[in-house]
Structure 1
Amino acid sequence: MIKTSTKKICIVVSSLGIGGAERSSALLSEILFDLGFQVHIVSVLHYVDYPYKGELLNLGELKLQDDSRLGRLKRLRVFHNYIKQHDFDYVIDNRTRIGFFKELVISKWVYSNQNVIYYVHSYNTDNYINPNRLLGKYLYGSVTRIVSVSKAIADKLKHKYGFNRITTIYNPIPDLTTQQIIDDTSYEPYILYFGRLDDKVKNISLLIDAYDISVLKKNNVKLKILGDGEDKDMLQEKVKTMNLSQFVEFLPFNPGPYNIVKNAYFTVLTSRYEGFPMVIPESLALGTPVVSVDCKSGPNEVIIHEENGLLVENDNIEALTKAMNRMLEDKDLYLQCKSNAKKSVEKFSKDDIKQQWKTLLK
């Protein structure tokens, strides 16, 4: 196939819906498209919630038609032929990558003779790089580049596998100037969690327990939990059992929840681990302070304690409760965090991240 003068990029994603990594992949397609690259996206699942730019091959639609073993083999061949047909300058793989033999086939056959950049979106690196050091090095030791979304992830990969082709590029904040965002003072005061309702990772139970013993409830500051996931029913039942139904409100998944974030008193993150949780810089970009546990990884690369939010020890209900109480009761602290919020995340703007990708893909 004759190459064009414009570089062709293929972004391979689990999907374009539901999660933070998926949203950052959609944003990456916009960034690379705006840089002048020919952008193609291959999605393993059919979910498409977030806006994107480029041509989409949705393997998820084929999966819905036939998810038998033969159907999976057919999708793999469609994937292989698509990569071979277009002869991309770079393939950027954003998927979770579990299972040695499956990834062996993809890395050595589907991506044969391709320049591949592998993304790692979580501090739980076993979801992206084989946990066996030798197998991990065999699959990914000589790739074009590994991109981590936090410095802590990059340090972990270097220490565990000895990788040296690692670059940290943070996930960008969406361009919020294009959104209809209203500063609405008519809202009843509330704090907000927004994200996937997966309690094993996000530890939303900790937030509910801390809220229950905090002063927020007594001051009629509600807790809103926005998102969907496998643990939604369990969390709703927990709230009901604790007699918190009048104080805790569950809101459905919203791909653009900016008004709700903007008008929150503060947002909260309680995850056991992360990669680079976009809810933190997005909140700050909207002028909303954050109370977050200091989990691995991401929060301490964005939050400056007592400057734009509060960082507390992970999985510590007393520390989290105290921080939420402080943010409500210490008005000077709250106003300082709020006034510093937007400026503190300017380095995560799409324009800044765009330049980093432009340099990497030269």
Structure 2
Amino acid sequence: MRLGFFIESLNRKGGTEITLVNRINLLAQNYDYKIYILTKEDGTVFNLHQNISIKNIDSLSINELEKYLKNIKVEILTYINNYDFDYFNLLKISTKNILEYHTSKSFFEKIYYNTKSQNNILKKLVMKVFGYKKIRELEKVSNKFDKVVLLTKQDLKNWKLNNKIEISNSLREFPKDISKLENKIILSVGRLSKEKGFDRLIDVMKFVFIKHKDWTLEIYGDGPEKERLEYKINNLNLSTNIKIFSFEENILKKYLNSSIYILPSYVEGQGMVLLEAMSCGVPVVSFDIKCGPRDLIKNNFNGYIVRDNDIKGMSKKVIELIEKEDLRKEMGQKGRELSYLYKKDAVIKKWINLYKELSGGEPIEP
């Protein structure tokens, strides 16, 4: 089968890019799929299987792009997030079309319903009406695709679509070992951008370190908020306990070296970092945001979900895990058990069945 993927770039290792590359490499290597990446930048920072080609289409006209797609005989075209609806609307080619949302509906709502900068009540109302219309427009276009793939059951309920299906991301790798949960290290991983909530994680840890000065928080990631976060850490005199490191290629060893994982995000698509921590047997704590955590965490069973933005509430749960080693290990083990459902082989079969469904083929056994 020949698949095409529209994505803006494969020149940064964000969560969306990593999960896509893992999938297409597996399809190309184990199932002999031919994959064509259609992007607006040259090259890639990833190692791609020989059955995967990448093409910069930025300078191509619609007619030239149509000719290229016909020549390579692509059967299914996938659009990653809402990039690029222009191609979807303009291309006149007989393919099946998939839209993948790697962000939740709540992400778009936060963008379109953002009234925080408006003090005037009338302006706030106008912004809400504008946001409502933008979401409806997004759903109207999305309904034109043959399938829209969403990451979580929670998001499946939120989108008003007739063609939606839930397929979660899979784990990059499944570790043979688990953390011993003995090191006094708390971990958080992600892009250093506002939506990831590292600013409020620092506020959480301020209360934790009052009782447990011998523990440390390690944050791994890069992004535009790094300087502001480091200023806040220094301003609160927490530089001894909180360290920010650049993204680590072998992040698995950092999970295995930690004893607690915290997800402080304001919004998430799925929250793969939670799954990665769980697969390493590390207990997790998250704010109760609209999408992601509740698909993975059963509160008080395999982790903690804390009311969104309850800074002191989260600090209390972290302190509880610090002080109760047996609880850490129990929750960590239960999280590990859940993570088996997200191994590569289990998730890739869902994708293959979707591709076969759209192309009229016979599904494979789950």
TM range (shorter): 0.7 to 0.9
* Structure 2 residue aligned with 1:173: 171
User: Shift of the alpha carbon at 1:150?
Assistant: 0.8
Alignment: residue pair count: 332
- Look up the SS of the partner of 2:108 in the other structure: helix
Conserved 8 A contact 2:108-2:135: no
- Look up the SS of the partner of 1:279 in the other structure: helix
User: Shift of the alpha carbon at 1:133?
Assistant: 5.4
* Structure 2 residue aligned with 1:13: 7
* Structure 2 residue aligned with 1:332: 326
Conserved 8 A contact 2:180-2:259: no
User: Shift of the alpha carbon at 1:188?
Assistant: 5.4
Conserved 8 A contact 1:270-1:293: yes
- Per-residue displacement from partner, 1:115-163 (whole Å, max 9, x unpaired)? 11100111236399996355335533231100001112221112xxxx2
For residues 249 and 88 of structure 1, do their structure 2 counterparts lie closer, same or farther at Cα, with a shift above 3 Å needed? same
Letter in 2 for 1:38: K
Letter in 2 for 1:91: L
- Look up the SS of the partner of 1:337 in the other structure: helix
Conserved 8 A contact 1:12-1:95: no
Are residue 93 (structure 1) and residue 75 (structure 2) matched?
no
Distance 1:75 1:227 in 2: 37
Conserved 8 A contact 2:170-2:342: yes
Distance 1:137 1:93 in 2: 15
* Structure 1 residue aligned with 2:19: 24
Conserved 8 A contact 1:13-1:25: no
Runs of 5+ consecutive residues of structure 2 not aligned to the other structure: 113-130, 357-366
Distance 2:16 2:188 in 1: 17
Q: How does 1:2-151 map to 2 (within 5 A)?
A: 7-16=1-10, 17-33=12-28, 34-45=30-41, 48-53=44-49, 54-59=51-56, 72-74=58-60, 79-97=65-83, 103=85, 105-110=86-91, 112-123=93-104, 124=106, 126=108, 132=134, 135-151=137-153
User: Shift of the alpha carbon at 1:73?
Assistant: 4.6
Distance 1:250 1:209 in 2: 15
Distance 1:193 1:310 in 2: 15
Are residue 192 (structure 1) and residue 187 (structure 2) matched?
yes
For residues 125 and 202 of structure 1, do their structure 2 counterparts lie closer, same or farther at Cα, with a shift above 3 Å needed? closer
Distance 1:191 1:96 in 2: 35
Distance 1:271 1:227 in 2: 14
Q: 1:218 aligns with which of 179, 201, 212?
A: 212
- Per-residue displacement from partner, 1:92-117 (whole Å, max 9, x unpaired)? 211443xxxx62x3112236422111
**RMSD between superposed Cα atoms in Å:** 2.8
Conserved 8 A contact 1:203-1:271: yes
* Structure 1 residue aligned with 2:271: 277
For residues 143 and 335 of structure 1, do their structure 2 counterparts lie closer, same or farther at Cα, with a shift above 3 Å needed? same
User: Shift of the alpha carbon at 1:352?
Assistant: 0.7
For residues 286 and 241 of structure 1, do their structure 2 counterparts lie closer, same or farther at Cα, with a shift above 3 Å needed? same
- Per-residue displacement from partner, 1:227-260 (whole Å, max 9, x unpaired)? 0011011111111111111111111112331101
Distance 1:20 1:342 in 2: 21
Letter in 2 for 1:338: G
- Look up the SS of the partner of 1:223 in the other structure: strand
Conserved 8 A contact 2:281-2:329: no
Runs of 5+ consecutive residues of structure 1 not aligned to the other structure: 1-6, 63-71
Q: After alignment, is 260-269 or 110-119 more displaced?
A: 110-119
Distance 1:35 1:90 in 2: 16
- Look up the SS of the partner of 1:297 in the other structure: coil
For residues 296 and 75 of structure 1, do their structure 2 counterparts lie closer, same or farther at Cα, with a shift above 3 Å needed? farther
Conserved 8 A contact 1:93-1:119: yes
